[in-house]
Structure formats: C-alpha cells, structure tokens
C-alpha cells in the first residue's frame, strides 16, 4: 500500500499519517522530518537544506529525489509506505513514476488558507526522538509545558513564523495544481475538503472509508 499525502504545511498531513500508520502498520516518510534530522546532526545535506528551509523555499528536486529513493529502498518499506511532503513539484512526481514506483492512492487535504495560518500558529512539536508528535493547542490533552504523551519538551518550529508560512503557502499553490492534475489523470487522486470543525480523526474517518473501498487491509 503506497500512499501520498498532499496538503499545505499545517494542513493536517502529519496527524492523518499518524492514524494511518497505527492501523495499517506502514512507515510514514516525512521529507520535512528527514531534512530536520540532517540539520540537527549538522550533516552536509543538513547544511544544504538550512538556507532553503529557513527561507521557506523548496530544497532542489535532485537532492529530494535521491533522499526519497534511498529511504523507500529500506526494508521497512516492503509492505508500502506513506509519503508525507513528497512530491512537492511535478518533477518529483514524474521522477517517482520514472523509477517504476506505482502509487496506489494520493490523498489531498483541501484546506482554506486562513485555517492553515491559524493552525500553524498553534503548532507545537515534541522533541522526543521516538514520539515527535505534532501537537496543536486545540487538541484534547495539549499541555504547554511538555508533551502530554511522552513528557519531552515541546517547541515551535522556526519556519512557522508568518513570513516563512506565507512563502510556503505560495510555493504550495504554485506547485500543487500540476501534481494534483498529474495524479487525477492517473486515476489515483482522492480529495477531502477539511473544514474548521474537522479534527484529525474526522479526516481519517473519510480517508479510511476510501481505503476500505480500495481493498486495503489493516494490520
Ligand atoms: P515540511 O515539514 O513538510 O513542511 O517541510 C519543511 C521544509 O522542508 C519545506 O518548507 C521545504 O523547504 C523542505 N522540503 C520538505 N520536503 C520537500 C520536498 N519534497 N521538496 C523540496 N523541499 C522540501
């Protein structure tokens, strides 16, 4: 079961992915998380990514395509995976197809821009290596001092500042149309309109119903 989640940053991809991982037992591959890990460890790749991420612009396609090919060749991807944050450009989508990778379903979360800004302003990430949960101040159980699940410290991301958010949203609307059309033509696109009252579990309910229709089996 090979999935792609497409949504603007802050659109709820990460939270949806967490719920899919639990039920379907496939890894979630977040290119944003991979890049942040490299930056934290000060690797060469991390240094390249630094300037792009801080400015809220995309890391070059060739770098990202190599990262993803490497990652999905790992053993834990044998039964499938979720791609969260990849592809971000049409080039990246075509590169997947050219590599012979057949995606079973592409889920788009269609979220209004003002809702995104509101959500990003309230986003806190858990520092815990095993946990790394993306909290939002509006989630049940949120506590401001530490992660309510694992008690690690929580932090707000640098690129969740208003100027970087605006650039990321502009990037998203510039690039996403072509990607969505590409998968629509392939017949794999499933779009969910996310309204302000939607919590992650509500989005998941809609998506999971679709997966059942496609014949995906839970593990
Ligand atoms: P995210 O956590 O998905 O919002 O990603 C954070 C940042 O990492 C983005 O704003 C980009 O600068 C970079 N990034 C993540 N995934 C990609 C990708 N597939 N292509 C290019 N840049 C990416």
How much is the average pLDDT of 171-198? 93
User: Among 42-51, 75-84, 92-101, 159-168, where is mean pLDDT lowest?
Assistant: 159-168
pLDDT, residue 77, reads: 97
Counting ligand 1 atoms within 8 A of each CB, the residue from 53, 70, 163, 179 with the most, and so the one to mutate, is 53
108 inside domain: yes
Q: Name residues contacting ligand 1 (CB within 6 A).
A: 9, 31-32, 35, 52-53, 56-59, 64, 85-86, 88, 92, 159, 168
* Residues with Cβ within 8 Å of residue 114, at least 6 apart in sequence: none
CATH number at residue 85: 3.40.50.300
- What pLDDT, in 10s, does the model give residues 59-108? 999 999 999 999 999 999 999 999 999 999 999 999 999 999 999 999 99
Query: For the ranges 105-109, 123-127, 162-166, 201-205, which has the lowest average pLDDT?
Result: 162-166
Helix, coil or strand: residue 149:
coil
State the pLDDT at residue 170.
87
Between strands 154-155 and 123-126, the pairing is: antiparallel
Q: Which domain holds residue 196?
A: 2-26+79-112+166-214
CB atoms within 10 A of CB 168: 21
Instruction: Report the 10 Å Cβ neighbour count for 50.
Output: 15
């Amino acid at each position: 079961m090979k999935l792609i989640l497409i949504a603007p940053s802050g659109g709820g991809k990460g939270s949806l992915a967490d719920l899919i991982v639990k039920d379907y037992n496939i890894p979630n591959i977040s290119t944003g998380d991979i890049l942040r890990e490299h930056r934290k460890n000060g690797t060469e790749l991390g240094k390249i990514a630094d300037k792009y991420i801080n400015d809220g612009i995309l890391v070059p396609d060739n770098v990202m395509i190599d990262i993803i090919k490497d990652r999905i060749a790992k053993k834990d991807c044998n039964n499938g995976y979720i791609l969260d944050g990849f592809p971000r450009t049409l080039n990246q989508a075509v590169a997947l197809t050219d590599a012979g990778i057949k995606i079973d379903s592409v889920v788009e979360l269609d979220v209004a821009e003002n809702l995104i800004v509101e959500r990003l302003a309230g986003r806190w990430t858990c520092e815990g290596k095993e946990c790394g949960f993306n909290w939002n101040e509006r989630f049940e159980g949120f506590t401001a001092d530490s992660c309510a699940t694992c008690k690690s410290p929580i932090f707000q991301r640098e690129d969740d500042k208003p100027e970087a958010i605006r650039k990321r949203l502009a990037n998203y609307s510039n690039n996403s149309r072509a990607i969505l059309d590409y998968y629509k033509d392939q017949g794999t696109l499933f779009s969910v309109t996310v309204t302000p009252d939607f919590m992650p579990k509500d989005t998941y309910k809609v998506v999971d119903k679709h997966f059942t229709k496609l014949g995906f089996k839970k593990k």
